[in-house]
Chains A and B, each alone.
Chain A
Amino acid sequence: MNSDWLFNFPFKIPVNTGAIDKYVRDFSVKYDIFFGSIRNFLISFVNIIHSILSFIPWIITILAVVYITWRISKKISKGILYGALLFFIGTLGLWDLMNETLAIVLASVAMSLVLGFPLGILISTSDKADKIVRPILDTMQTMPVFVYLIPALLFFGLGKPPAVIATTIYAIVPIIRLTNHGIRQIDEEIVEASIAFGSTKFQSLVKVQIPQALPTIMTGVNQTLMMAMAMVVTTSMIGATGLGMEVLISVNRVEIGRGLVSGTAVVIIAVILDRITQGLVKNGEVNSH
């Protein structure tokens, strides 16, 4: 008996990937003005952040990190350690590249917060919206990042704008999720109290719900920042310059030393950003519980 069909699928649905390519390409051409203006906006946004970062003398940046860490962790030793690590990046000759990378990361985080925070609030107030958005968020988080590098590249060309877009799509998820979660988990009696005293919905949101959810929201900010940092190397593939590009080049040329140096710099920046924002989360919790 012929049992081939058990091991081979009897049907095949022919997916015309070429047609999809063509459609997307046509789409990008047709709406070029739209994408072009977003592109220009993102370029100037990233450039502004970059020039601010470059304008600050390195010594001031380091001292600021020392001071902020000291304030947040209440330990001067931690502040000095982070300052020394930053100084180390500078001595490796990576200071400018670091600023370039930070500009893209911060721009992406800013975009994520501006879009994600209101969206998180929106879906916290409506179960229906929550149900609709949840699978979309799951998709955004699990879809391999390379898949949306391609359309980002198509719509926005090479360089920083598609990097910011791709990073935003990837990093916006935690801020949406945790804003939603933070607001939903507030003790119902507290929200009721604010309503019982005659607050409008807006007053209740701004004066009670958001402040009460702030520690959770701050955790979301921290996570968004970390995920944006994780995209640094990936987005260098579509032409985002900075430390990620250094890593990519050293991979292509099998330059282990160069890769190690720039990789270390990425890790240092990530650790410092993480500790500082986590410190902010903890301080928020101390104040509110």
Chain B
Amino acid sequence: MNIKKGEIFVIIGLSGSGKSTLVRCFNRLNKPTSGTILYGNEDINKLDKRSLEEYRRNKISMVFQNFGLMSHRNVIGNVEYGLEIKGIPKEERQKKAVEMLNMVGLNGLENEPISSLSGGMKQRVGIARALANDPEILLMDEPFSALDPLVRKDMQFELLTIQRKLEKTVIFITHDIDEAFKLGDRVAIMRDGELIQVDTPENMSEYPANDYVKQFIDSADKTQVISVRNVMITPNSIVRLKDNPNYAINIMRKNGVSSAYVVSEKMKLEGVITIDDTINAHRENLSISDVLIKDIETTSPDALLSDIMEMATETRFPIAVVDNGNLKGIVSKVHVLSSII
């Protein structure tokens, strides 16, 4: 197994599958009985006491399921802990701690006791504490499992934002397949202490390695995994802005549709026309731009189906998939709904 720098690597499995044990070998909270773990070229297993401390202080930090916060210290006291044991002067470490707290959205709560925080806020402190060391690797052992679903969603979003900003390598453990697919650049599935499959969420849902993986994935909400790109089709009735209405009517008739997308010269999406409007335009000698409907719903190829679900059920026309203003394809209600069965 190889974990790349800067990716979010999710390890998923049922409880007892060994995912926690595996991750805790990465910072030697557990000592592996066999095998090697390389960080760069260094074998973590062979570090002596001193260099293990150095490694833990500077390279890798951890976020815990039940937060692991020290109740005898206030918020900032917890965040600065990692810096404190490194012997960084008080002023400097407090400055860093405040900066981290601002990043996780806990401005102004520096001197609150831990007991006054909600679960979500506690885990924000946990994340701030882990990031304060400026580690290269962030281990997260089911960090959001103890949070209620709404807060969990917020935290997932927050984590993605932070990761994009800081580009840390995140190794994330969860037993929730939706969470795994939402966060993971790559996902590893474990069972009984063994890795079964390591792949991107999309590949995994398309080519599960065996029935166990398939079962796991079937429990997932597919709209969270499949992106618009996978279900969009190339529109066959495209009209250019300078075409005349008669031509547009012909195209629509030929394809048996009642509307057509209108693009400019370079496939830039301009709007949509309906068959009724176009026939009117033809009779009254108007051009296509006169009957063009510009106010239309669009989406991007990378959007997830869950994002456009609501739009798809309400829209009058198929949804245009637009990338940098250019029409890439269309998605109709039929495609969205059929892809998730």
Chain A residues in the interface with B (C-beta under 8 A): 187, 189-190, 192-200, 203, 207-208, 211-212, 214, 287-289
Question: Could you tell me if B65 and A189 are in contact, using CB atoms closer than 8 angstroms?
Answer: yes
Question: Could you tell me if A189 and B68 are in contact, using CB atoms closer than 8 angstroms?
Answer: yes
Question: Could you tell me if A207 and B84 are in contact, using CB atoms closer than 8 angstroms?
Answer: yes
Which residues of B are found within 8 Å of A288, using beta-carbon distances?
71-72
Question: Could you tell me if B113 and A195 are in contact, using CB atoms closer than 8 angstroms?
Answer: no
Question: Could you tell me if B66 and A189 are in contact, using CB atoms closer than 8 angstroms?
Answer: yes
* Cβ contacts B175-194/A at 8 Å (1 or 0 each): 00000000000000000000
Answer whether residue B85 sits at the interface, using C-beta atoms and an 8 A cutoff: yes
Question: Could you tell me if A193 and B84 are in contact, using CB atoms closer than 8 angstroms?
Answer: no
Which residues of B are found within 8 Å of A211, using beta-carbon distances?
70, 72-73
A250 to B64, CA, bound (A): 63
Closest CB in chain A relative to B148 CB, distance in Å: 20
Question: Could you tell me if A198 and B53 are in contact, using CB atoms closer than 8 angstroms?
Answer: yes
Main secondary structure of the interface of B (DSSP, over half): mixed
Question: Could you tell me if A198 and B115 are in contact, using CB atoms closer than 8 angstroms?
Answer: no
The 3 closest A-B pairs by CB, nearest first: A198-B57, A198-B56, A193-B68
Query: How many residues on the B side are at the interface (Cβ–Cβ under 8 A)?
Result: 31
Given A189-B66, A207-B84, residue A198 in contact with residue B72 (CB < 8 A): no
Question: Could you tell me if A192 and B86 are in contact, using CB atoms closer than 8 angstroms?
Answer: no
Question: Could you tell me if B55 and A198 are in contact, using CB atoms closer than 8 angstroms?
Answer: yes
Q: Can you show 28 pairs from A to B with CB atoms below 8 A apart?
A: A187-B68, A189-B64, A189-B66, A190-B68, A190-B69, A190-B70, A192-B29, A193-B62, A193-B64, A193-B69, A194-B70, A195-B56, A196-B27, A197-B61, A197-B62, A197-B81, A197-B82, A197-B85, A198-B54, A198-B56, A198-B86, A199-B53, A207-B85, A211-B73, A212-B70, A212-B72, A214-B72, A289-B115
Answer whether residue B123 sits at the interface, using C-beta atoms and an 8 A cutoff: no
A34 to B313, CA, bound (A): 93
CB closest chain-B residue, reference A201: B49
Question: Could you tell me if A194 and B56 are in contact, using CB atoms closer than 8 angstroms?
Answer: no
Query: In chain B between 72 and 88, which residues have their CB closer than 8 angstroms to a CB of chain A?
Result: 72-73, 81-82, 84-86
Contacts A197-B62, A288-B71 known; 5 new A-B pairs at CB < 8 A: A187-B68, A194-B70, A196-B139, A199-B53, A207-B84
Closest CB in chain A relative to B53 CB, distance in Å: 5
Answer whether residue B133 sits at the interface, using C-beta atoms and an 8 A cutoff: yes
Question: Could you tell me if A287 and B57 are in contact, using CB atoms closer than 8 angstroms?
Answer: no
A3 to B82, CA, bound (A): 77
CB closest chain-B residue, reference A195: B29
A214 to B73, CA, bound (A): 13
A208 to B113, CA, bound (A): 16
Query: In chain B between 309 and 330, which residues have their CB closer than 8 angstroms to a CB of chain A?
Result: none
CB closest chain-A residue, reference B57: A198
A192 to B73, CA, bound (A): 16
Which residues of A are found within 8 Å of B65, using beta-carbon distances?
189
Question: Could you tell me if A192 and B72 are in contact, using CB atoms closer than 8 angstroms?
Answer: no
Which residues of A are found within 8 Å of B56, using beta-carbon distances?
195-198
Which residues of A are found within 8 Å of B64, using beta-carbon distances?
189, 192-193
Closest CB in chain B relative to A205 CB, distance in Å: 12
Given A207-B81, A214-B72, residue A287 in contact with residue B113 (CB < 8 A): yes
Which residues of A are found within 8 Å of B133, using beta-carbon distances?
197
Which residues of A are found within 8 Å of B52, using beta-carbon distances?
198
Question: Could you tell me if B85 and A199 are in contact, using CB atoms closer than 8 angstroms?
Answer: yes
A198 to B88, CA, bound (A): 14
A208 to B78, CA, bound (A): 10
Which residues of A are found within 8 Å of B66, using beta-carbon distances?
187, 189
A211 to B70, CA, bound (A): 9
CB closest chain-B residue, reference A203: B85
CB closest chain-B residue, reference A200: B53
